[in-house]
């Protein structure tokens, strides 16, 4: 399995990353080596095995639907300078 | 001042041999004197530490009862600390002032612990050498040309060099145990779910667990019992009562059944590591423990299974870094897509980028079943191996790392070689088991770690075995010569 340049472009798009302008071949090769390394997983017969998503056998806890957090908008918005009137600013998306 | 024992420091504080303020100043002086050569700290919070120390001194005068009151500690920079820079070792969070405290931070502070600062780490905890940090590599106090291990490398180096008596860490695939082994200190990763993940910046949510790096099992027990316990803010927090670990350390180990996995005896293990481990096992046998050969047949598959599961979870978790609400934001974005893509590309380093792309690949249409689902099935087999073994043995022992510390730059060009270094720690993480690494000798002058693995929620037994071993030996008290307190 080789990760081609076009596959790499597709992965980068899905992950919202840009590919480096240089060293793209090196990245392709590294990802190819990593994916090749995974192939040994397919040597095991797992037809009857239930996938394990989580180490503990637990169920999702539920809680009463009541407000437990106070309004901390001002404090939380100090993590960026791009706010206005309590809203986050992004480049214009609607013309 | 001797930082070798938290119990010793707690006694000294209560006797009035020194105050918490004096102890804190001593640690701050050590950091000032030695950290330039180690790069173990990203942030030192000297002023707030001294204020917290004076507050602790007041509590001690009023008869504070907790053993950790007035004890200085450093937090790995993955734990959110309200009002303090929290970088996770990344350019992405280079200027991020956390708006709240992680539960681990809150609980330790409530016990009167004094935070000295935040320690360096692999970027987003992704690495086994601490070389992926945006803030530069951490160096190993035993030889500064070598890595301290990772990802909790700053915490490990700070404790090993005697800058702090104890530091927090996190362990996703070995990130507490392996750096503890490579720097000659004690590291403890509890059972998945034992310590709250709230406020601990997520890497791989089904694997991440907070732990402790310190000098002895006794110290680890004291700190762990303060950190651990159910937290309603973490949906995977285990609703299990926390034993008083520090009260359950004593006693002999006669009749203890120690499992030795055939699969842990690989040709890749350094001979000095094997020799140190064999001698350590003999000393436990001399105490009446029994060695039992066991099989963990899927061990060789733990590395590929982990490097599918962890990057898959990482690619999902790190999608929150979009340049909008916090974290790095690129200059002059053309449009929203450009804002996302350029902010992320500029903010993430090479290893994080590789893992996001790997995770995206194994989760993408057409590959999900072949890689991600298959890895989760192999994970189930790895867990079943451990459960079969624990039907016959009390603990499992093996090396923490196949080799002692390696040179800076030795493995950075080849991710797969770096990943294979995690062979003995990763299966334990996939199964969610508790494990400690304790110093058990030296190979070519470098510390070697012995890994003691317990069944789910059986930290008490792991710590008891580690403690017994540390009463028989003094490897855990050895200090790198250049950082002895008289150096």
Q: What is the pLDDT of residues A17-73, one digit of tens each?
A: 999 877 788 999 999 999 999 999 999 999 999 999 888 888 888 889 999 889 999
Instruction: Confirm if B428 and B453 have CB atoms less than 8 A apart.
Output: yes
Interface check for B298 against chain A (CB to CB < 8 A): the answer is: yes
End-to-end CA distance of chain A: 43
| Contact between chains at B238 and A31 (C-beta distance less than 8 A) | no
CA distance B443 to B441: 7
Q: Is B151 a catalytic residue?
A: yes
Task: Give me the domain span that covers residue B245.
Answer: 6-255
Q: Is B283 a catalytic residue?
A: no
**Does the residue B431 lie in any domain?**
no
* Structural domain spans, chain A: 5-43
Average pLDDT over residues B362-388: 95
Residue among B394, B428, B212 at smallest CA distance from B291: B394
Averaged confidence pLDDT in chain B: 96
**Does the residue B386 lie in any domain?**
no
Q: Which of B327, B375, B431 sits opposite A55 (nearest CB)?
A: B431
CA distance B258 to B453: 10
CA distance B90 to B355: 14
| Contact between chains at A51 and B415 (C-beta distance less than 8 A) | no
CATH of residue B53? 3.90.1300.10
Residue B487 pLDDT exceeds 60: no
Domain count, chain B: 1
Interface test with A, best of B234, B333, B358 (most A CBs within 10 A): B358
pLDDT given for residue A54 in this prediction: 87
B350 Rama class: left (phi>0) / alpha (psi -120 to 50) / beta = alpha
| Contact between chains at A30 and B340 (C-beta distance less than 8 A) | no
Q: What is the pLDDT of residues B103-138, one digit of tens each?
A: 999 999 999 999 999 999 999 999 999 999 999 999
Q: What is the pLDDT of residues B401-457, one digit of tens each?
A: 999 999 999 988 888 888 888 999 999 999 999 999 999 999 999 999 999 999 999
Question: Who's near A9: CB < 8 A, 6+ residues apart?
Answer: A19
Distance between B206 CA and the closest CA of chain A, angstroms: 5
Preceding amide of B439 cis, omega within 30: no
pLDDT given for residue A36 in this prediction: 93
pTM greater than 0.90 (yes/no): yes
- From the candidates B5, B90, B133, B151, give the one annotated as an active-site residue: B151
B199 Rama class: left (phi>0) / alpha (psi -120 to 50) / beta = left
| Contact between chains at A37 and B383 (C-beta distance less than 8 A) | no
Q: Is B76 a catalytic residue?
A: yes
Coil, strand or helix at B58: helix
Q: Which of A18, A34, A53 sits opposite B416 (nearest CB)?
A: A34
B-chain residues near A34 (CB < 8 A): 307, 354, 358, 415-416
Interface check for B319 against chain A (CB to CB < 8 A): the answer is: yes
Interface test with A, best of B85, B235, B304, B386 (most A CBs within 10 A): B304
Per the structure block, which two tokens stand in for B29? 């002086």
Q: By mean pLDDT, which of B42-46, B236-240, B277-281 is the weakest?
A: B236-240
Binned at pLDDT 50, 70 and 90, residue B486 comes out as low
């Amino acid at each position: 399995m080789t990760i081609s340049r076009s596959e790499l472009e597709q992965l980068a798009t899905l992950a919202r990353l840009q590919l480096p302008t240089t060293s793209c071949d090196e990245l392709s090769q590294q990802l190819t080596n990593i994916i090749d390394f995974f192939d040994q997983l397919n040597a095991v017969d797992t037809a009857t095995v239930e996938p394990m998503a989580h180490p503990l056998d637990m169920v999702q806890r539920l809680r009463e639907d009541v407000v437990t957090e106070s309004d901390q908008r001002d404090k939380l918005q100090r993590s960026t300078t791009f706010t206005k009137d309590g809203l986050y600013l992004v480049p214009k998306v609607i013309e | 001042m001797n930082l070798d024992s938290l119990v010793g420091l707690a006694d000294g504080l209560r006797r009035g041999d020194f105050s918490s303020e004096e102890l804190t100043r001593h640690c701050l002086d050590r950091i000032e004197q030695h950290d330039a050569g180690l790069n173990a700290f990203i942030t030192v919070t000297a002023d707030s530490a001294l204020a917290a120390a004076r507050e602790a001194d007041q509590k001690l005068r009023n008869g504070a009862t907790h053993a950790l009151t007035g004890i200085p500690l450093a937090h790995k920079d993955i734990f959110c600390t309200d009002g303090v820079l929290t970088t996770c070792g990344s350019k992405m969070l280079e200027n991020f002032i956390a708006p709240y405290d992680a539960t681990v931070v809150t609980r330790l502070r409530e016990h009167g612990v004094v935070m000295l600062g935040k320690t360096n780490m692999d970027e987003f905890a992704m690495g086994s050498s601490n070389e992926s940090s945006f803030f530069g590599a951490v160096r190993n106090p035993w030889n500064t040309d070598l890595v301290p291990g990772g990802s909790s490398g700053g915490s490990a180096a700070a404790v090993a060099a005697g800058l702090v008596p104890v530091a927090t860490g996190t362990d996703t695939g070995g990130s507490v145990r392996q750096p503890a082994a490579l720097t000659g200190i004690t590291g403890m990763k509890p059972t998945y779910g034992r310590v709250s993940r709230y406020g601990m910046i997520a890497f791989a949510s089904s694997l991440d667990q907070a732990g402790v790096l310190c000098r002895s099992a006794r110290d680890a027990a004291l700190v762990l019992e303060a950190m651990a316990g159910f937290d309603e803010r973490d949906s995977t927090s285990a609703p299990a009562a926390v034993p008083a670990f520090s009260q359950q350390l004593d006693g002999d180990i006669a009749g203890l059944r120690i499992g030795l996995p055939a699969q842990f005896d690989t040709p890749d293990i350094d001979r000095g590591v094997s020799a140190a481990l064999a001698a350590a096992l003999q000393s436990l046998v001399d105490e009446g423990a029994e060695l039992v050969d066991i099989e963990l047949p899927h061990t060789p598959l733990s590395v590929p299974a982990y490097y599918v599961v962890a990057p898959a979870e990482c690619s999902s978790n790190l999608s929150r870094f979009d340049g909008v609400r916090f974290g790095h934001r690129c200059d002059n974005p053309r449009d929203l897509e450009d804002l996302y893509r350029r902010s992320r590309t500029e903010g993430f380093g090479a290893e994080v980028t590789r893992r996001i792309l790997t995770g995206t690949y194994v989760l993408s249409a057409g590959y999900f079943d072949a890689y991600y689902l298959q890895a989760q099935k192999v994970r189930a087999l790895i867990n079943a191996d451990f459960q079969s073994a624990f039907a016959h043995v009390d603990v499992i022992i093996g090396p923490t790392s196949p080799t002692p510390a390696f040179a800076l730059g030795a493995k950075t060009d080849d991710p797969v070689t770096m990943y294979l270094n995690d062979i003995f720690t990763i299966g334990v993480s996939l199964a969610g088991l508790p494990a400690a690494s304790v110093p058990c000798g030296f190979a070519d002058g470098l510390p070697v770690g012995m890994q003691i693995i317990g069944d789910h929620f059986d930290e008490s037994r792991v710590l008891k075995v580690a403690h017994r071993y540390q009463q028989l030996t003094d490897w855990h008290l050895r200090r790198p010569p250049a950082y002895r307190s008289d150096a």
